[in-house]
Amino acid sequence: MLKQYKKLSFLAAALISFSLTTVGYANAGELGERQLTKQRIDGLYTENLDAARYFQQGVRLYNRSEFKRAELAFGKAIEFDSSMAMAHYMLGNSFLGQGETQLAVQQYQLAIKLDPNLPEAYYNLGLALYQQDRPGEAIRAYERAVSLNPDFETARYNLGLAFEAEGNNEQASAQYQEVVRLNPNNATAQYNLARLLVKQGKSEEAIPALQQVVVLNPELVQAHYQLGLLLAEQGRQEEAKESFFQATRVNDEFAPAHYQLGLIFIEEEDFGEASNRFDWVTKLQPNNVEAYRQLGAAKLKDEQYEEAVTALQSAVALESGNALSHYNLGVGLQRLERNEEAIAQYRKAVRLNPKMSEGFYNLGILLGQSGKNRLAIAVLQRAKALFAAEDNREKVREVNLYIQQFSAQRTPSATREESESR
């Protein structure tokens, strides 16, 4: 007759952002090197051999990720020829590689002033501005890069991210669609398109999009997970289960997928496997109160009451204001015949949730069994009213039987203990 478990709803199918800003700056190794007295650099000229020499030295250092030394070399090149747009551009890249975004912005702006038709400079200017949390300015830089090179895939992708940061999902979708047109195998762009479909409430369209994503990139754990959430939301339990399994196969420490699998196993009444999943989540995320609650509920259903109490005590310690945690902890304690402790937990549960009919019901029974008949009857009357409001006639009948039983046991010399406030 005890309500041992109340299933919490599935996590909301809000997609976790997986929008990774591209940080791969233009590859300096692609710049042409010619052993000529007039050094040609991607369409730009310098007649100063010293500038050319330092520039090429900077390129080699930059490609080895020796950004500080590259910075010094490009700086020397600019000393010999301050009109080299590409030297300013690569100096900006060197600053960006060191996290010096403001200095990088200054150099990109100088490069653009010298050569307004350099799409890579606009692109990396956009990167630096985005990293400074200036998405509006980043949008303008990316748009200029795209206008100069309409097939600039990464610029379009990051333009989509910047539009998202500004809350312009329609424009973001348009850019991701262009990325997919340019490169149908770009899984991250496909993923972001699916995210935006979910934001627009188009879950049915998002499912095939995510299915395509996991084909393109089976290692994208977030895509498997989000696909599982959407499938579960639509009641496609077995497919959801497989998606969550795939997420855990990619990354066994991805706690949200284990949590969702635990919920599915509870639905299937496989309480042992559900407990294993929730237990693993608590190890990965020791402060995950929901995992402790679900672990405790699964242990109750599996009749492992000591372990259930331990898990639920952790849940209560992490969040003392949850009525269900106190209620389920009371159930576990009652099963272990630790009735005074159980009474205390039921009292906390009904204080937190005055409409918890099962809480009043179990509390009333334990009070009566403890000899506190008058108080038990008062509590059971409250349970009866709540069950009646729920139109739960079977429970109303059971409560009446307990009230009759405890009324018959009352004596004229009722103790003061019975009149204690709840």
What digits encode the pLDDT tens for the residues 264-323? 999 999 999 999 999 999 999 999 999 999 999 999 999 999 999 999 999 999 999 999
Helix/strand/coil (H, E, C) string of 155-178?
Answer: HHHHHHHHHHHCCCHHHHHHHHHH
* CA–CA distance, 116 with 137 (Å, rounded to integer): 17
Residue 43: the pLDDT is 37
Identify the DSSP state of 337: T
- Report yes or no: 97 and 127 within 8 Å, Cβ to Cβ: no
Nearest to 180 by CA among 190, 172, 170: 190
What band does 422 get if pLDDT is binned at 50, 70 and 90?
very low
DSSP secondary structure of 182-246: H-TT-HHHHHHHHHHHHHTT-HHHHHHHHHHHHHH-TT-HHHHHHHHHHHHHTT-HHHHHHHHHH
- Report yes or no: 345 and 326 within 8 Å, Cβ to Cβ: yes
What digits encode the pLDDT tens for the residues 187-231? 999 999 998 988 888 888 999 999 999 999 999 999 999 999 999
DSSP secondary structure of 105-120: HHHHHHHHHH-TT-HH
What digits encode the pLDDT tens for the residues 168-178? 999 999 999 99
Residue 411: the pLDDT is 53
DSSP secondary structure of 59-106: HHHHHTT-HHHHHHHHHHHHHH-TT-HHHHHHHHHHHHHTT-HHHHHH
- Report yes or no: 161 and 130 within 8 Å, Cβ to Cβ: yes
Mean pLDDT of 181-185: 93
Residue ranges of domains in the chain? 354-422
Give me the phi and psi of 45, to 5 degrees please: -120, 145
What band does 25 get if pLDDT is binned at 50, 70 and 90?
very low
Q: Is the pTM of this model over 0.85?
A: no
Helices 119-131 and 101-114 sit at what angle, rounded to 10 degrees? 160
Site of tokens 């030297």: 87
What digits encode the pLDDT tens for the residues 117-172? 999 999 999 999 999 999 999 999 999 999 999 999 999 999 999 999 999 999 99
* CA–CA distance, 90 with 48 (Å, rounded to integer): 17
DSSP three-state, residue 252: coil
What digits encode the pLDDT tens for the residues 382-397? 999 999 999 999 999 9
Quick one: tokens of 421?
């406030």
- Continuous segment of H or E residues that includes residue 361: helix 357-369
Question: What count of residues does the chain have?
Answer: 422
Residue 345 vs residues 74, 173, 327, 332, 350: alpha-carbon distances, Å: 70, 51, 6, 10, 9
Residue 7: the pLDDT is 30
